[in-house]
Amino acid sequence: MEKLKTPIVYGFVVALAGSILMLTLLALKLLGPKAIALENEMTGGTILFLMLYLLLLFAIYFAIKKRKDVLGRGIQFKEALIQGFVVSLSTAVFSVVFTIVFYELLYPSYVADTIEALRLKMESSGVPVEKLNAKLEEKEAYLSTSTQSMFSFIGNLITGGAFTLLLSFFLKTSKER
């Protein structure tokens, strides 16, 4: 169990840092309803996307490296895979928890506020009513807690898996010392 403690903690830290980053981007009006009105949403979304995956990449790297240092003799490919997978899985699970906390407890009107901001922007742009309503329904389904939780979980697993394979290959020790 001791060998899994570090990657679980790293996964928690990545998910927490991602949540803090999202709240910071909301406060800076780079995400959410105010960002839509200011046309900053693309910038904020890009920052969030890149930073989340960089945090996950670094967490996997440092978990594998730390395990390699603890073993003292290097690390086999399989052991590196386990470390990276546990970071990815714990990040995915904690991200779901933090997503639910955000959407249901911290900012329960987020979806409604965002939909209203989109409605105002699209109406001022002269989007036809049928197209506007269809787009808003699509966006509301996309922003739902369940959809965002699923994307968070699957995204962290897939991206973490890819990073794990890559890093495990490069960080494994080629021969026993």
Cα dihedral sign, 145-17-60-66: negative
pLDDT tens for each residue of 14-70:
999 999 999 999 999 999 999 999 999 999 999 999 999 999 999 999 999 999 999
Residue 91 has pLDDT above 80, yes or no: yes
For 15-75, where are the E strands, in sequence order? none
Return the SS3 of 103.
Answer: helix
* Radius of gyration of the chain measured on its C-alpha atoms: 20
Residues 6+ apart with CB under 8 A from 156: 56, 88, 91, 92, 95
Which of 28, 44, 36, 31 has its CA nearest to residue 118? 36
pLDDT tens for each residue of 25-38:
999 999 999 999 99
pLDDT tens for each residue of 106-140:
999 999 999 999 999 999 999 999 999 999 999 99
Pseudo-torsion of CA 66, 72, 76, 81, nearest 10°?
Answer: -10
CA distance 31 to 46: 10
Say how many C-beta atoms besides its own lie within 10 A of residue 37's C-beta: 15
Domains in the chain: boundaries: 2-171
CA distance 7 to 65: 11
